[in-house]
Amino acid sequence: MSNLNIKNSPRDIRINRKDEAKYKYLKERLKAESDKEIFKLAFRMGFFKELKEPLKPKPKHMWQFSTFLDNIQELMLIARYQKEDVEKIFDGKEIAKECEEYANGGINYLYKLFMEGNKEDIYIIEDILEDLKKLIKNSLIFI
Q: Per residue, what are the HEC states of 31-100? A: CCCCHHHHHHHHHHHHHHCCCCCCCCCCCEEEEEHHHCCCCHHHHHHHHHCCCCCHHHCCEHHHHHHHHH
Q: Is the pLDDT of residue 59 over 90?
A: yes
DSSP structural state of residue 4: S
More confident residue, 44 or 5: 44
CB atoms within 10 A of CB 36: 19
- Quick: pLDDT tens for 107-129: 999 998 888 876 676 677 777 77
Q: Is the pLDDT of residue 6 over 50?
A: yes
Residues of the chain with pLDDT > 70, as a percent, come to: 67
Q: Taking the CA atoms of the chain, what radius of gyration do you get in angstroms?
A: 15
